[in-house]
Chains A and B, each alone.
Chain A
């Protein structure tokens, strides 16, 4: 199946490539490593000359706050939580990330959980006590947080804010091409159109999506890089076995962080939860058994 997902913003469905003559004199791009992947920032049209640099800084600040691969506020928090905490959260980015994750619990039915741990089946967000007013996190048993893909979507959200504040009205941001966010419409008019490949065969398209002022997240148990050493296993809360069913989730949302959390939730969901989360339009789950046709979850 190759679907075509129209752009959001009230279902405008901007499939018409308007022959915009937007001024492109101020285009620019910036590529750098962060969040464990390659970040690309592409801007078009007006805005402050240093807008991309500001966006880069925003992403690197998120990386510095949430990474667990080097000392960071997140690793400091984990150290306290491993000892049974409570921990005071001083870093504003880390605090904001925890608020977003806590707020999205209902949206993801609790299936995106940065506290799941295959070594501790009972470990999870419900065992944490998050006091927003006091900015503290406490737990009754050792817990460690891994922000995983959420971090990329969240970082793109922060970069989008930085670009908008710098006057940029047209941009495309990518974190490893599995997390995309755009500002405005395509510089030549209409929606930004993307083809998501079938991870079993990159030459085939899984779905086409169109974005305006939206973010896209792709999660998969298949494809290049799934077995890379730094890639954390996909876990369903309450189970220690990694999810290995051949699945790909594609989610579009106004928030990159929400899109990331939902795409992870779709991958780890059982069938009943997947039916509730999947809408076939903006939240899509594909069953990709070997040698079988592309099949959207139903």
Chain B
């Protein structure tokens, strides 16, 4: 892609975000989107970011930061040298590199840090960065424990710093457009969301000779991760809370190591029901040995369904007027007419396979936009409104799901959460 076509695509993307998030209803539901899309160029005054963690995800973030108008990577940090070496190609020559994040913080010259380390390190890295006077952008999920999630929120408040968590769906034009159409009543009252993230692989990375399994495959061990819940489900739980405009009242679930019995400690199969006020539900499954249904959220209303990952909206098919029922009514009012019968055998309630309509607008990487929003927040010293609350509740929901599965009992939404 040339710079010119990139700029055109980028402009189209931002226009679509602005279109999708326009109006008072959407401004209330997505107050962050318009601010992020309206971020201004910074000239030489780009927000300087130090990236802690330059593994696969960290390097993907670095590439997205490079596309922004208002942010730049000013330092790299990783305690595993091969990761640093791989990240070097995406930043300006001479960008300082560190193997210890504290040394990077001490070196100064940064406005904020980007944390892409294993989950159990997020909280400490956040505390250290904020104590050093820096704003923080942190990968989801927030932290390994509910209390650490709350402590991160509190620390940001105490230090007066921006804490933003990586939930890119909140910046995705397709999701924003889907929410706009839900708010407009196009699919009626939303009472259920079915969400799934199904893969067919071990979710295990090869371990280089100079490293060890717990370091490379930290997602598979309970000390460092809640597995599918914190690494995948948290994205979709955020979508659930966002579209249902609430947090769950309680969660029940079942988890198992069902297929990949390779020494991992986290579940490879999870199935949960999150209950919301009014009897609404989010039904969630994630597994690692069947990919047919992939990653999707099916947002189900009385008039239709939205599948944002596929970018489709489907209207409910009205029940067919049964010819013989109509015949009864005709006879009662003394009216006789030919009865149009159905012909071939009637099969009740098979899945509906109507193609639906496109929600559109999904061809651009929304991760870039969330960094532009973060850059705007850092420059103004004001967090993008609404974002942290969404992220905090999503992380808590994912960790409560883990608790429900571990205990084999329903877990209610905590009353002691920090107010965002």
Contact = CB atoms under 8 A, between A and B. Distances in A.
A binds B: yes
Contact of B345 (A17, A29, A42, A176): A176
B324 A172 contact: yes
Interface stretch (B97-105, B291-299, B332-340, B365-373): B332-340
B328 interface: yes
Interface stretch (B112-120, B273-281, B346-354): B346-354
B344 A226 contact: yes
B321 interface: no
A226 B343 CA distance: 11
B327 A42 contact: yes
A229 B331 CA distance: 36
Given A193-B339, A228-B350, A27 B344 contact: no
A222 B343 CA distance: 10
B328 A27 contact: yes
Interface string A177-195: 1101000001111101111
Interface in B302-338: 322-325, 327-328, 331-332, 334-338
A78 interface: no
A38 B323 CA distance: 13
Given A187-B331, A194-B338, A195-B339, A40 B345 contact: no
A225 B346 contact: yes
Contact of B344 (A44, A174, A224): A224
A220 interface: yes
B327 A218 contact: no
A117 to B, nearest CB: 21
A226 B350 CA distance: 12
Contacts of A231: 345, 347
Nearest to A22: B331
Contacts of B344: 178, 199, 218, 220, 222-226
A202 B341 CA distance: 10
Interface of B: 322-325, 327-328, 331-332, 334-348, 350
30 contacts: A24-B331, A24-B332, A27-B331, A29-B328, A37-B348, A42-B324, A44-B331, A174-B324, A177-B323, A177-B343, A177-B346, A178-B341, A178-B342, A178-B346, A186-B331, A186-B336, A187-B331, A189-B336, A193-B336, A193-B338, A194-B340, A195-B338, A197-B341, A199-B343, A208-B338, A224-B346, A224-B347, A225-B346, A226-B344, A228-B350
